[in-house]
Amino acid sequence: MTKKQAATQSVQDYLKRIYELTEDGAPASTNDLARELNIKPASVTGMIQKLAAEKPALVEYQKHQGVTLTKAGRKAALEVIRHHRLLEAWLVRTLGYSWDEVHEEAERLEHVISEDFEMRIAAAMGHPDRDPHGELIPTAELVMPTEESIPLSALRPTQTGIVQCVKAADTELLRFLEGLGLIPGAEIEIKEYSPFDHNLTVKIGRKTTVLGLNITSKIFIEES
Amino acid sequence: MTKKQAATQSVQDYLKRIYELTEDGAPASTNDLARELNIKPASVTGMIQKLAAEKPALVEYQKHQGVTLTKAGRKAALEVIRHHRLLEAWLVRTLGYSWDEVHEEAERLEHVISEDFEMRIAAAMGHPDRDPHGELIPTAELVMPTEESIPLSALRPTQTGIVQCVKAADTELLRFLEGLGLIPGAEIEIKEYSPFDHNLTVKIGRKTTVLGLNITSKIFIEES
DNA sequence: AAATCAATTTAGGATAACCTAAATTTTAAG
DNA sequence: CTTAAAATTTAGGTTATCCTAAATTGATTT
Ligand SMILES: [Mn+2]
Ligand SMILES: [Mn+2]
Ligand SMILES: [Mn+2]
Ligand SMILES: [Mn+2]
């Protein structure tokens, strides 16, 4: 019954990135992983081969075909993601971090907190289901809830909705969006759509702004 | 101006233990360190040699003579100790950890929190000067305040005082002491002293207990 | 199908931190 | 002072993660 020793910090980061890169269903490529992890592709290949060789395997891997997570790998990834998102929520709520500051801190803490700590902060916050960016928090049983909201880029004039989630990690972008009031909970209405450049004119609260696809594809909305 | 890259977790643990073992003024021996760190003596020798060779050196080391911290090493150790003790206080205050549970969690978190995090929790708690066990917290400038209290073992009948600090990490012992009410803030009075076994009969609140040297040497009192 | 470029893997190394077993040195006891 | 025991160091290895450079494979384009 020896509870499979916890993955190292490196392995946890690999699994987390693989999870994110494979959310679209397609395997993650060596190069993509290398870019996300800031590690050279050659090293990524090596690590992936190791993860695929573990028993039970954490990833599924075919040479030159990229990687996907196995069931075991996905559980491990969700554990880290739950830690990360709960930590972000907790740091914002109890220590006044802003949503563009929390990521880095959570990125390191996620690997060292105990399950006890995880439970305590979850309970202290009343078991939140989203982090400060609106990203869904996996349950304690390590199930990722299904995201119902749709990308802002999919909306068209006269549609209205509420911002649920902002999928961005970049500090600059987050500050910019906050300045626009484009944060979870914000009410928006589509005013115009420009089919050539995919720009949307969006009313956020009282302000109206034109947003490009690079932004509208990262904002997720619950239509109303 | 490249701010000397932060020490690894291992190095931080070595420095912290060396600090603790040399508080009495004498150098720390390889064996003592090995025992405290749960690392084989041979490995400790290797690490110590490396720390002594760094520029600037973190420890002073003479073969077979044990180690002491250099100024740089002491600063690094105090940084970790400050993290540890602030974290313990924070965990107890905000997440309801008991004083026998916090140590382990803080032992891992201490290595990964940012200076920003350190400042935030310190400020949130009103810059406490002691952790939940009553141990002094180094200042933000990394100066260790001087401990004014004296060991309970040095008191004699009719003397009274207030518990300031309990220098123990063992869960069992901490629970036992809490059961006795022997926690920081407790008022005590010495009733009897037995010169042969150094037992002290101590009145704690309303209860009276006989305590051996193994305990009385770990409890620190401010006489009153 | 051949050439070419990009993606990926293999080979060969490096570093950090450990470990075990075999010296060596120090200390403590006759 | 000589020795045995204890403490410490040295030697030789291992594992985990990365890296660079070279080789290979896959995809794209004529
Ligand atoms: Mn994040
Ligand atoms: Mn991380
Ligand atoms: Mn502690
Ligand atoms: Mn530690």
Identify from A12, A108, A119, A171 which residue to disrupt to test chain B contact, counting B C-beta atoms within 10 A and taking the largest count: A108
Percent of chain B scored above 70 by pLDDT?
Answer: 98
Q: Which nucleotide is nearest to A51 (CA to C1')?
A: D16
Q: What is the pLDDT of residues A125-180, one digit of tens each?
A: 999 999 999 999 999 999 999 999 999 999 999 999 999 999 998 999 999 999 99
Interface membership of A120 toward B (CB under 8 Å): yes
Q: Would you call B105 and A120 a contact, using CB atoms and an 8 Å cutoff? A: no
Q: What is the pLDDT of residues B2-47, one digit of tens each?
A: 456 789 999 999 999 999 999 999 999 999 999 999 999 999 999 9
Please name the fold of domain A150-223. Answer: SH3 type barrels. (2.30.30)
pLDDT at A6: 81
Q: Would you call A109 and B109 a contact, using CB atoms and an 8 Å cutoff? A: yes
Q: What is the pLDDT of residues B96-126, one digit of tens each?
A: 999 999 999 999 999 999 999 999 999 999 9
Closest CB to B105: pick one of A95, A101, A117: A117
Closest CB to B112: pick one of A91, A97, A112: A112
Q: Would you call A120 and B112 a contact, using CB atoms and an 8 Å cutoff? A: no
pLDDT confidence tier of residue A51, bands split at 50, 70 and 90: very high
* Among A192, A186, A95, residue whose Cα is nearest residue A134: A186
Q: Would you call B113 and A109 a contact, using CB atoms and an 8 Å cutoff? A: yes
Distance (Å, rounded) from C-alpha B93 to C-alpha A16? 31
Distance (Å, rounded) from C-alpha B219 to C-alpha B172? 15
Distance (Å, rounded) from C-alpha B113 to C-alpha B90? 13
Indicate whether B152 pLDDT > 70: yes
Q: Is the peptide bond before B56 cis (omega within 30 degrees of 0)?
A: yes
Interface membership of A124 toward B (CB under 8 Å): yes
Distance (Å, rounded) from C-alpha B131 to C-alpha B193? 30
* Among B207, B212, B197, residue whose Cα is nearest residue B152: B212
Closest CB to B105: pick one of A105, A114, A124: A114
Instruction: Output the distance from A60 CA to D20 C1' rounded to whole Å.
Output: 27
* Other Cβ atoms within 10 Å of B41 Cβ, number: 14
Q: What is the pLDDT of residues A12-37, one digit of tens each?
A: 999 999 999 999 999 999 999 999 99
Where in chain B are the domains? Answer: 3-69, 150-223
Distance (Å, rounded) from C-alpha B39 to C-alpha B10? 11
pLDDT at B184: 97
Class of domain B3-69: mainly alpha
Distance of CA B158 to the CA centre of its chain: 29
Q: Which nucleotide is nearest to B13 (CA to C1')?
A: C17
The helix-helix angle for A9-21 and A71-95 (nearest 10°) equals 100
Indicate whether B91 pLDDT > 80: yes
Q: How far is B202 from chain A (nearest CA, A)?
A: 36
Interface membership of A197 toward B (CB under 8 Å): no
A31 touches strand C (CB under 7 A): yes
Q: How far is A91 from chain B (nearest CA, A)?
A: 9
CATH topology match: A3-69 vs A150-223? no
Burial of B64 (0-12, 13-18, 19+ CB in 10 A): exposed
Integer CA distances (angstroms), B115 to A23, B6, B79, in order: 34, 12, 10
Q: What is the pLDDT of residues A170-209, one digit of tens each?
A: 999 999 999 999 999 999 999 999 999 999 999 998 999 9
Instruction: Output the distance from A68 CA to D29 C1' rounded to whole Å.
Output: 31
* A67 contacts: CB under 8 Å, gap ≥ 6: A18, A22, A27, A28, A33, A48, A51, A52, A59, A60, A61
Angle, vertex CA A177, rays to CA A173 and CA A182, nearest 5? 150
The whole-chain average pLDDT of chain B stands at 95
pLDDT at A1: 45
